[in-house]
């Protein structure tokens, strides 16, 4: 049976780097619970009871509690790539140590031309654009403007341009392209004259961020974590739920809105008091915007075509007798269920006979990637082997312009290399490994 409780002015504190417990029954320390999340919590009591009847097996005379656990729903009206990846890492339960370094991309463009014009082309994640003809002696300020006018770069995404074409334009990326390993700008010689005239482009600093990779544990073991909660301006001590695992994650994408997520945890029924705990300050961090997300199907980036979608990741954790000891009502351990599910639903602008429509009709398994956030601050979910199907209403008209969109339901299948249907990766500022104990 379920007893739903909702608390107002309740705060929740988690490990900022998503530490896991060292063992079942060993909660994280108060010091580890160092960050508040802007989410609402709903608690459910999941209690199994056995009725005892009278001798006539007619009326209940007593009842025993056989099993008890707590289900906690964390609803995020917005969520950062780091937090989303942290929860996905908990769900999958294996995260590798980070690799790479954090740096903005710097490229140097040089030519010894003494006259004429040139063009600059930049191609990145499905967008390619070329400047109009630019004079060989264009200033750094105007060259920066020309680059930012490209749809594949965008305003505010070049941090600086210094120098000249003769001494070398030093182009530093920033904004939504900060900490990103971007392709080289391609320079068209156009009508450049004098000397050799041939332009060169060199990567002075390789852009990038810390790379984190999460894969599903091979033995059904689930990472356990803890969280603290209390009431603002309340003298009562904070409490801690521990031995918590991620039961499911639901991610909602809409091109016009912030990405939202629901994280469902399972944990011990009764919390413990947190001693010497100072609740952290509430810091609202910028969440992932729908406009900054991309979907990649069969190697093709869908930008304007992607409308909305839902990603559901469910560990199918057993909550029946398998989770409990021979005697006693409290959970003894958690494991991933035998049949975890990862259904995908999404809407893609288009109509019958287009590329996506034909892919769905063909019934061929394809790779699908959800790229959530800017390239240098991103959580990505990679499904290598997905069978797409039309929903029962295959075409729907969306938006104020009533454009046609494919309604697609997709089932990720097991990948022979991963030995699982999906993996996750992230490019983040976090230097510490996720799931440390």
Interval 233-249: pLDDT, tens? 777 888 999 999 999 99
Contact status, residue 429 vs residue 209, Cβ threshold 8 Å: yes
Q: How far is the C-alpha of 173 from the C-alpha of 161, rounded, in Å?
A: 9
Judge if 402 and 272 occupy the same domain. yes
* 156-164 CB contacts, 8 Å cutoff, 24+ apart: 159/104, 164/137, 164/139, 164/140
Judge if 87 and 193 occupy the same domain. no
Whether the per-residue pLDDT at 352 is higher than 90: the answer is no
Residue 306 lies in a domain: yes
Domain boundary among 178, 208, 238: 208
Q: How far is the C-alpha of 374 from the C-alpha of 259, rounded, in Å?
A: 13
Instruction: Indicate the number of domains in the chain.
Output: 2
Q: How far is the C-alpha of 249 from the C-alpha of 343, rounded, in Å?
A: 11
Instruction: Report how far Cα 353 is from the mean position of its chain's Cα atoms.
Output: 32
Residue 147 lies in a domain: yes
Judge if 112 and 88 occupy the same domain. no
Domain boundary among 156, 190, 208: 208
Residue 121 lies in a domain: yes
Residue 39 lies in a domain: yes
Average pLDDT over the chain, rounded to an integer: 92
pLDDT tens digits along 68-99: 889 999 999 999 999 999 999 999 999 999 99
Judge if 186 and 315 occupy the same domain. no
Stated pTM of the model: 0.92
pLDDT tens digits along 208-218: 999 999 999 99
Judge if 241 and 377 occupy the same domain. yes
Judge if 304 and 408 occupy the same domain. yes
Judge if 247 and 372 occupy the same domain. yes
Judge if 200 and 348 occupy the same domain. no
Judge if 190 and 278 occupy the same domain. no
Residue 241 lies in a domain: yes
Judge if 133 and 92 occupy the same domain. no
Residue 437 lies in a domain: no
Which domain, by its residues, includes 172? 106-208
Q: Is 206 helix (H, G, I), strand (E, B) or coil?
A: coil
Judge if 35 and 148 occupy the same domain. no
Judge if 59 and 131 occupy the same domain. no
Q: What is residue 175's predicted lDDT score, i.e. its pLDDT?
A: 97
Domain boundary among 153, 186, 208: 208
Residue 110 lies in a domain: yes
**Phi and psi, residue 31, nearest 5°:** -65, -30
Residue 435 lies in a domain: no
């Amino acid at each position: 049976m379920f007893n739903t409780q909702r608390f107002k002015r309740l705060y929740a504190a988690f490990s900022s780097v998503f530490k896991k417990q060292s063992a079942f029954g060993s909660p994280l320390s108060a010091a580890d619970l160092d960050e508040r999340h802007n989410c609402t919590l709903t608690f459910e009591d999941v209690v199994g009871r056995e009725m005892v009847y009278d001798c006539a097996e007619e009326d209940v005379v007593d009842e025993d509690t056989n099993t008890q656990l707590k289900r906690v729903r964390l609803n995020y009206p917005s969520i950062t790539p780091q937090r989303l990846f942290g929860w996905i890492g908990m769900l999958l339960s294996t995260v590798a140590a980070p690799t790479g370094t954090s740096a903005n991309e710097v490229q140097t463009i040089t030519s010894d031309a003494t006259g004429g014009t040139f063009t600059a082309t930049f191609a990145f994640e499905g967008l390619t654009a070329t400047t109009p003809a630019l004079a060989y002696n264009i200033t750094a300020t105007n060259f920066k403007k020309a680059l930012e006018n490209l749809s594949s770069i965008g305003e505010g995404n070049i941090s600086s341009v210094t120098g000249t074409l003769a001494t070398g334009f030093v182009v530093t990326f920033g904004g939504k392209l900060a900490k990103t390993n971007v392709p080289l700008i391609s320079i068209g010689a156009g009508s450049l004259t004098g000397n050799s005239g041939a332009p060169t482009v060199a990567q002075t600093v390789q852009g990038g961020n810390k790379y984190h990779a999460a894969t599903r544990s091979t033995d059904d073991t689930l990472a356990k974590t803890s969280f603290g909660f209390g009431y603002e301006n309340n003298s009562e001590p904070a409490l801690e739920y521990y031995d918590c695992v991620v039961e499911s994650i639901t991610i909602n994408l809409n091109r016009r809105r912030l990405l939202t997520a629901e994280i469902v945890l399972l944990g011990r029924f009764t919390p413990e008091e947190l001693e010497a705990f100072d609740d952290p300050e509430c810091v609202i961090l910028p969440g992932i915007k729908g406009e900054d997300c991309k979907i990649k199907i069969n190697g093709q980036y869908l930008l304007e075509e992607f409308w909305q979608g839902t990603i559901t990741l469910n560990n199918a954790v057993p909550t029946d007798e398998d989770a409990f000891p021979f005697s006693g009502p409290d959970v003894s351990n958690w494991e991933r269920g035998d049949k975890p599910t990862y259904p995908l639903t999404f809407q893609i602008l288009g109509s019958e006979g287009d590329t996506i429509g034909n892919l769905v009709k063909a019934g061929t398994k394809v790779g699908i990637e959800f790229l959530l956030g800017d390239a240098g601050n991103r959580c990505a979910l990679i499904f290598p082997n997905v069978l797409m199907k039309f929903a029962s209403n295959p075409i729907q008209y969306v938006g104020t312009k009533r454009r046609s969109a494919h309604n697609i339901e997709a089932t990720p299948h097991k990948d022979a290399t991963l030995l699982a249907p999906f993996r996750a990766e992230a490019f983040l500022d976090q230097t510490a490994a996720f799931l440390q104990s």
